Amino acid sequence: MLPIIANRLLVAVPTLILVSMLIFGLQKLLPGDPVLAMAGEDQDAQVIATLRVKYHLDQPVPKQYAIWVSDVVHGNLGSSLRTDVPVRFLIAQKLPVTLQLALMAMVLAIGIGIPAGVVSAASRGGPLDHAANIAALSGMSIPNFWLGIMLIFIVSVRWHLLPSSGYVPPSEDLWLSIKTMLMPAFVLGAALGAQLMRHTRSAMLGVLRTDYIRTARAKGLLRGAVVVKHAFRNALIPIVTVLALLFGELLAGAVLTEQVFTIPGFGKLVVDAVFNRDYPVVQGVVLVTALAFIVVNLCADVLYMLLNPRLRRS
Amino acid sequence: MATPFQVRSAAIAGAPPKRTYRGLARFMRNRAAVFGALLVALVVAMALLAPWLTPYDPLQASFMTVRQAPSAAHWFGTDELGRDVLSRLLFGARASLLAGVVSVGIAVLLGVPLGLLAGYFGRLVDGVISRIADALLSIPFLILAIALSAFLGPSLVNAMAAIGISAMPRFIRLTRGQAISVKAEEYVEGARAIGLDHARIIVRYILPNVLPPIIVQGSLTVASAIIAEASLSFLGLGQLPPAPSWGSMLNTAKDFVSQAPWMSIFPGIAIFLAVLGFNLLGDGLRDALDPRES
């Protein structure tokens, strides 16, 4: 198994290099000369020259890239153009908020999506299967920011059940923190749960068709025991990979959810940075997101091998 | 006298219409897929016939009719500037549909040739193209689209380009996988044996056989692209005001949700129905074109 993991790590290296090139290249898409924009109205030649040296813009592009990569490797993601706060501090400050939101969304999605997928597959063609399929397709088709707006209108404005926006750290008040995050987590987890349901149903249907399930049923085992003990355990293997792939969607969805519920997280950071034309912050957020996605996928590959005995033996 | 290869080619050339009819029959039997196709047709009709379906100008503000609830005069009510919500919804369908189709067009035009090259030639070509696809895939679709829109500047055209580039790696992966399996088929070996050049083999023999899953993926990606455009417009990075788009309508509406909920309800339902339509259509096409997948 170790060589396979080593191979996966080796494949991740060029991907990381290309991602870094892509993110570095983003700033080259900017129209005009960024130094002229920074120099203000006076356009003092001395100031322009100093800024060029400060941001290494007097160097050839490959050297600029090498300097940028060296900085990133040393944890220096640059500073916000607006506040001059180092980007890594901003990210470290906002990331826990988004991770809490993502974790709660993931728990809700797993808690709803996987059981719904199992029940749907076990009652294929029946009313429960149809209901679960319609719910899943609707969950995938509803834009999460609209779902958020509608829930704020119904649950917060009309029923006064949950807070409509804001964030309370769990260290301050755990119950209030969960209460505040419940609606955003549901909004973020809805599409994920829907996709998870469809993948679980598909994986379960594949397993339920196999010979060993037929044998287990022929031996007289209870239907529920066959579904849960024999089929579900094997169907779970591909679901792990799907979960890792959906992690990226969770991060992207958090951008919109945080915007709707005014949560001061990672997503709100990037949107605010976009409007303030704070490019180092945008680059930093994209880089950290990509890195997180690559690491989660690597972990999923390893977990996939650990869960699948045939791969483990090879 | 025809060579065995020509006989087989003729057989292959004759095969698609039969397969298409069988697929069409399967599609028509699938009620969900037909419903999806009807929803898509409805959105297309809304976009094309918008000027004839409403008496109001979607950009015309009227301070006499600010935030009016749905009525006989304004079926879906009016917005914060007194503009008719239904008119803006009908014209907004153009932005959504255009964004969906154009961005998927960009993704297909870039992704399919790259996927064909990677799958057909393998080795170094595959290594380079696959790593580029992996790199793009490791940045979540919407985050990449937001970053590109941020650097390119907010506009519908830039949003479409950003969504298209972000969706491209899905088509590279899909086409590459299909091309690898098709190039091992006997008729491709036959084409190679009679000395056809690579370009002709790819265009005449590989491409037609990788098209069905690309059509399915295309339909499903239009659904994602419509949501992505609405998301970018909702964030203020897509269609710029005063031009209508469903996402930008929701962006404004969120500030008036308690006073004028109709401003939020109808654009959201429009996005939901359009996306549902393309999702059902995609699922139906998959079942019709490749029953093994269903």
**Is residue A86's pLDDT more than 60?**
yes
Whether B149 shows a pLDDT value over 90: the answer reads no
Q: What is the mean pLDDT of residues A271-291?
A: 84
Residue A286: list chain B partners with CB under 8 A: 139, 143-144, 147
B294 and chain A: CB distance < 8 Å anywhere? Answer: no
- The mean-pLDDT minimum among A162-176, A270-284, B262-276 falls in A270-284
Q: How far is B263 from chain A (nearest CA, A)?
A: 11
Lowest mean pLDDT among B16-30, B38-52, B260-274: B16-30
In chain B, residues with a C-beta closer than 8 Å to the C-beta of A289 are 139-140, 143
What DSSP line would sit under A112-158, residue for residue? Answer: HHHHHHHHHHHTTTSHHHHHHHHHHHHHHHS-HHHHHHHHIIIIIII
Q: Is B264 on the interface with A (CB under 8 A)?
A: yes
Note whether B146 contacts A255, CB cutoff 8 Å. yes
Contact B152 A138 (CB under 8 A): no
Region A91-95: mean pLDDT is 90
Going by C-alpha positions, the residue among B98, B78, B221, B108 that lies closest to residue B155 is B98
Please name the member of B139, B258, B279 whose beta carbon is closest to the beta carbon of A286: B139
Measured between beta carbons, which residues in chain A are less than 8 angstroms from residue B151? 26-27, 29-30, 279, 282
pLDDT of residue B291: 52
- pLDDT above 70 covers what percent of chain A? 94
- Higher-confidence residue of B44 and A292: namely B44
Percent of chain A with pLDDT over 90: 22
Give residue A185's pLDDT.
95
Reported ipTM: the value is 0.84
Chain B residue with Cα closest to A282: B147
Q: Name the band, by pLDDT with cuts 50, 70 and 90, for residue B14.
A: very low
Percent of chain B with pLDDT over 70: 91
**pLDDT digits over B225-257, tens only?**
999 999 998 988 888 888 889 999 999 998 898
Across chain A, mean pLDDT equals: 84
Q: What is residue A309's predicted lDDT score, i.e. its pLDDT? A: 67
Quick one: pLDDT at residue B294?
46
**Is there a contact between B250 and A149 if contact means CB atoms under 8 Å apart?**
yes
Please give the residue of chain B at the shortest CA–CA distance from A26. Answer: B151
User: Of the candidates A14, A146, A252, which has its C-beta nearest B250's C-beta?
Assistant: A146
Contact B231 A145 (CB under 8 A): yes
Q: A146 vs B279: CB contact, 8 Å cut-off?
A: no
Pick from B135, B268, B271: CB nearest A150: B268
Q: What pLDDT, on the 0 to 100 scale, is given for residue A273?
A: 85
- B223: which chain A residues are within 8 Å (Cβ-Cβ)? 141
- Alpha-carbon gap: B211 to the closest alpha carbon of chain A (Å): 24
The pLDDT of residue A6: 81
Residue B213 touches partner A, C-beta closer than 8 Å: no
- Is residue B152 within 8 angstroms of chain A, CB to CB? yes
Query: What confidence category does residue B84 fall into, taking pLDDT thresholds of 50, 70 and 90?
Result: very high
Q: Do B131 and A14 touch (CB under 8 A)?
A: yes
More confident residue, A159 or A219: A159
Q: Which candidate from B139, B223, B254 shows the least CB-CB separation from A19?
A: B139
Contact A253 B142 (CB under 8 A): yes
CA distance A283 to chain B (A): 8
Contact B39, B280 (CB under 8 A): yes
What local confidence, expressed as pLDDT, does residue B3 receive? Answer: 47
Q: Give the model's pLDDT for residue A8.
A: 76
A153/B261 CB distance under 8 A:
yes
**Which of A26, A145, A282 lies nearest to residue B250, judging by beta carbons?**
A145
Q: Which of B63-67, B75-79, B178-182 has the highest average model confidence (pLDDT)?
A: B75-79
Please give the residue that has the higher pLDDT: either B101 or B8. B101
pLDDT above 60: residue B12: no
Which residue has 């659904």 as its token pair? B223
Average pLDDT over residues B42-49: 93
A21 or A36, which is more confident: A21
Greater confidence (A20 vs A54) lies with: A20
- Model confidence band, residue B6 (pLDDT cutoffs 50, 70, 90): very low
State the pLDDT at residue A178.
Answer: 92
pLDDT digits 0-9 by tens, A103-144:
999 999 999 999 999 889 888 888 888 888 888 888 889 998
Q: Answer whether B268 touches A (CB < 8 Å).
A: yes
pLDDT of residue B4: 46
B142 shares contact with chain A (CB less than 8 Å): yes
C-alpha neighbours within 13 Å on the C-beta side of residue A269: 28
| pLDDT number for residue A81 | 77
CA distances from B221 to A79, A145, B107, B164, B281 (A): 36, 19, 9, 10, 11
Which residues of chain A have a CB within 8 Å of the CB of B92?
Answer: none
